[in-house]
Amino acid sequence: MAEATHIDVSYVAHLARIHLTEEETALFQGQLNQVLEYVEQLKELDVTGVEPTAHAMSLVNVLRADEPAPGLDHDTVVDNFPAVRDGQVVVPKIIDQS
Amino acid sequence: MKYEACIGLETHVMQKTQTKMFCGCKHEYGAKPNTNVCPVCLGYPGALPVMNARAIELCCKAGLLLGCGINPRSKWDRKNYFYPDMAKNYQITQADEPLCLGGQLTTEVAGETKTFTIERIHQEENAAKNTHISGASLVDYNRAGTALMEIVSNPCMHSSSDALAYMTALKQIMEYGGISDCDLEKGHMRSDVNVSVRPVGQKELGAKVEIKNMNSFGFIVEAIEYEIDRQIGVIENGGTIDQETRGYDTDRGETFSQRTKEDAHDYRYFPEPDLLPVEISAEQIEQWRSELPELPAQRRARYVSELGLPEYDAGVLTAEKAVSEFFDETCQKTKQYKLVSNYLMGKVASLVTEKEISIADSELTAETLAQVAELVAGGTISSSAANELIEVLFTEGGDPKAIVEEKGMAQVSDDSALEIWADEAIAGNPKAVEAYKAGNAASINALMGCVMKASRGKANPPAVIALLKKKLGA
């Protein structure tokens, strides 16, 4: 059963922008495999007739009217930016795509 | 070998809502940077999104206008990526259960009626606006989280003209439906274009190239044409097309590869735990359907069948919603439909271009334009005076009748008044008189022109013609 579950830790770490050492990668590889094996146990449940759901709550349509509400004060927001120019956050040069 | 291009468009349309998709921050163009922001759209930890009911309604109405089915139940997903324009590091979107499914858009391409099919419309949130400066980029989060729909067509178009016709019709429908202002300058409508080519007769699509984020119809057309040629060239030279994302360089008029080392995106979509599903009842759908406005095609047909306008006029008048609404309003006040149409397509349109002021922002009103049409129809003013009057009404406004009086625009039809000008014209143009008498009927126009000039456009043309003919003994 464990054979079917494998996480490519270096790849996932890259996607999450986490830098791992080789030791950490090996360590988490083992730990995450165990987590997956544990989750695999769910497969033993018979879910015949159970509707798939994306949410644990049975509520739907939690909506709000299209009416403006006050947000944050500009100065407060800007104070949180690590670097500011013209009221905007300065980030490393964005190269391509959107 | 002959090739066929297959083109699909993913068009992002910014909805006309007062507030953002998941928070109450104002959706406002041109505001001071980072003033319409809050913990939700800045992605602060612990902030919870709440759906904007109006945005959902507009998305579904867009779907109904395009003949889509409305999903009785749809849900939200997270699309994960790191980019400064999305502070949460994920975009809330709809992956497998969008609000609208299926649909079509019928329009004319070079005189031929074509139907393009739509795969889906999903609701999502917009990214922030980046500005690039030397060595860095700046981010303004005012646009972050505003309501954005993505309308995905099937790869059912085969030329840049198809794509242009599709986008033009889509824009019209969105404007008419009150879904979006579709102001291209403001980025209300941007498209990603998928282009692939295949040998004619082959069923499977070729490898597709995606050209990202274009807001100019002209550039989209150019990019498609360039890309089709490029792909055919690569294949004919024995190469293969890589499935990739390309950008369009508007200066060079070519597409270029945007591939980075990491190549394929892995967005790791998963259901958004912070938002509950949307359920839309059949009653709700019918309610929305009953509120849908008249679409351009229906309006064109009405102008032809009910108002007796030529097809051409109907097409021009309905091209922009604001114009056709102005026309409709004017026609509530006068039955001179064709005259009103002429002025809107002619003088008013040229004033709009020349002065760079929209009809709505001008001083001209439906009421005053209707009066102009009545004044012309009743013979009080000539067509040329009407144009002059419209210009005054457009720039300064005022009461048409008072202006006609004040500026002495009323047309002169009375023979005794016309006689002096007619006599002058005849005396001053012996050649034209001779030619006319010798049987050249058209030469009367020269005399007519003199009278019009002498009267500064006030002479009533039919009356002038009649008088000239009488004097020349015809």
Nearest to A71 among B38, B50, B51 (CB): B38
Q: Considering the entire predicted model, what is its pTM?
A: 0.78
Q: Which of 364-393 (B) contact A at CB < 8 A? A: none
Which neighbouring-strand residues pair with B79?
B91
Measure Cα distances from B472 to B419, B459, B460 in Å. Answer: 13, 18, 18
pLDDT mean over A67-84: 95
Distance CA B166, CA B164 (A): 5
Query: Each residue of B163-206: pLDDT tens digit?
Result: 999 999 999 999 999 999 999 989 999 999 999 999 999 999 99
Task: Determine contact, residues B139/B84, Cβ cutoff 8 Å.
Answer: yes
Q: Do B32 and A60 touch (CB under 8 A)?
A: no
Mutation pick from A10, A51, A57, A63 vs chain B, by most beta carbons of B within 10 Å, is: A63
The β-bridge partners of B271 are B77
User: Residues A11-46: pLDDT tens digits?
Assistant: 889 888 899 999 999 999 999 989 988 988 988 999
Q: Which of B26, B34, B273 sits opposite A78 (nearest CB)?
A: B34
Contacts of B26 in chain A (CB under 8 A): 68
User: What pLDDT score does B262 carry?
Assistant: 47
Residue B169's identity, in one-letter code, is A
The secondary structure element, H or E, covering residue B283 is helix B282-290
CATH number of A1-44: 1.10.20
Backbone angles phi, psi at B391, to 5 degrees: -60, -40
pLDDT 10s digits, B228-248 = 999 999 999 999 998 888 989
Q: Which domains does chain B have, with CATH numbers?
A: 3-284 (no CATH), 294-406 (no CATH), 415-471 (1.10.10.410)
Residue from A7, A72, A95 to probe the interface with B (highest B Cβ count within 10 Å): A72
Distance from CA of A13 to the nearest CA of B (A): 12
- Indicate the SS3 state at residue B87: coil
Question: How is residue B89 written in tokens?
Answer: 């590091």
DSSP symbols for A45-95: S--TTPPP-S-S------EE-S-------HHHHHHTSSSEETTEEEEEPP-
Q: Which residues of B touch A59 (CB under 8 A)?
A: 276
Residues 275-304 of B with CB under 8 A from A: 275-279
Nearest CA in chain A to B264: A15
pLDDT at B139 over 70: yes
Q: Which residue of A has its CA nearest to B87?
A: A89
Which residue does chain A place closest to B190, by CA atoms? Answer: A98
Of the candidates B59, B49, B65, which has an alpha carbon nearest to the alpha carbon of residue B15? B59
- What's the whole-number average pLDDT of chain A? 87
In angstroms, what separates the C-alpha of B209 from chain A's closest C-alpha?
14
The number of C-beta contacts closer than 8 angstroms across A and B is 134
* Tens digits of residue pLDDT in B339-378: 999 999 999 999 999 999 999 999 999 999 999 999 999 8
User: Stretch B329-337: mean pLDDT, rounded?
Assistant: 96
Whether A71 sits inside 8 A of B37 (CB atoms) is: yes
The pairing of beta strand B90-93 with beta strand B73-74: unpaired
Q: Give the residue with greater pLDDT, A41 vs B266.
A: A41
pLDDT reported for residue A98: 40
The dihedral through the CA atoms of B322, B324, B329, B334 has a sign that is positive
Rounded Cα gap, residues B155 and B10, in angstroms: 10
Chain B residues in contact with A65 by the CB 8 A cut-off are: 53-54
Compute the distance between CA of residue B34 and CA of residue B115 in angstroms, rounded to an integer: 42
Cα B216 to Cα A83, B277, B307, B371: the distances in Å are: 33, 35, 34, 39
Longest dimension (CA), chain B: 94
Contact B137 A65 (CB under 8 A): no
Q: What is the pLDDT of residue B474?
A: 56
Average pLDDT of span B14-38? 97
A57 CA: distance to closest CA in chain B (Å) = 8
**Contact between chains at A69 and B25 (C-beta distance less than 8 A):** yes
Q: Which of A15, A55, A95 sits opposite B276 (nearest CB)?
A: A55
Chain A residues in contact with B131 by the CB 8 A cut-off are 88
The answer to whether residues B104 and B151 touch, using CB atoms and an 8 Å cutoff, is no
User: Average pLDDT, stretch B59-78?
Assistant: 96
Q: Rounded distance, CA B22 to CA B327, Å? A: 38
